[in-house]
Chain A
């Protein structure tokens, strides 16, 4: 069974700092997605990564994919409070999606 591991699971950081969330997965796949979930809300799509070396950026967030290492990263630059949420990576395995446990990010003023 495909395993998806995220770390860290909890991240408390100061505004203005940088940090990276890691997503490792256990099987060959070249399609990986990042989602954001606000407390009590649903999930919304952030990034779609479809090939080795893919890099996507939106505002202070940048996601990358290394299919050979089976690793995706979500990098946060100069964090702001509005980025506080839970972030999930998900691996697409023949249209079945396997999610990581999520990284709960708290950005403190």
Chain B
């Protein structure tokens, strides 16, 4: 059972280049999230999705776009990369908590992006 898979794991970009990070989950989860992790700042939510075809902004959405055309995939795009987007990006997914209320996130292994 793969869980949450992120590709690529590492990428170096030049300022102004574009790229897409792919997140795939095989747990039939409804919710998917993209976070960035920077030293001393914890994880900050970029965008999230509560189901196929839906997306919403998080805390730090500027400079990023997302799409969720299929339930199992959540793509994060950088249209014109900037050095400030150098970070480690984590994708996470969770099932609809329902009556139990527990909404535990399952994280991918992370993608380290460097923008020169």
- Contact status B107-A101, CB under 8 Å: no
Cα separation A102 to B103 with both chains bound (whole Å): 20
B48 at the interface (CB under 8 A from A): yes
B69 at the interface (CB under 8 A from A): no
Binding site of A, secondary structure by majority: helix, strand, loop or mixed?
strand
> Which residues of chain B are within 8 angstroms of A50 by Cβ–Cβ distance?
101-102
Contact with B along A13-31 (1 / 0, CB 8 A): 0000000000000000001
Could you list 18 A-B pairs, sorted by A, with CB under 8 Å?
A4-B42, A6-B42, A9-B40, A43-B107, A44-B107, A45-B104, A45-B105, A48-B102, A88-B42, A88-B43, A90-B105, A95-B31, A95-B48, A95-B103, A96-B58, A98-B45, A99-B42, A101-B40
Binding site for B on A (CB under 8 A): 1, 4, 6, 9, 31, 33, 35, 41-45, 48, 50, 88, 90, 92, 95-102
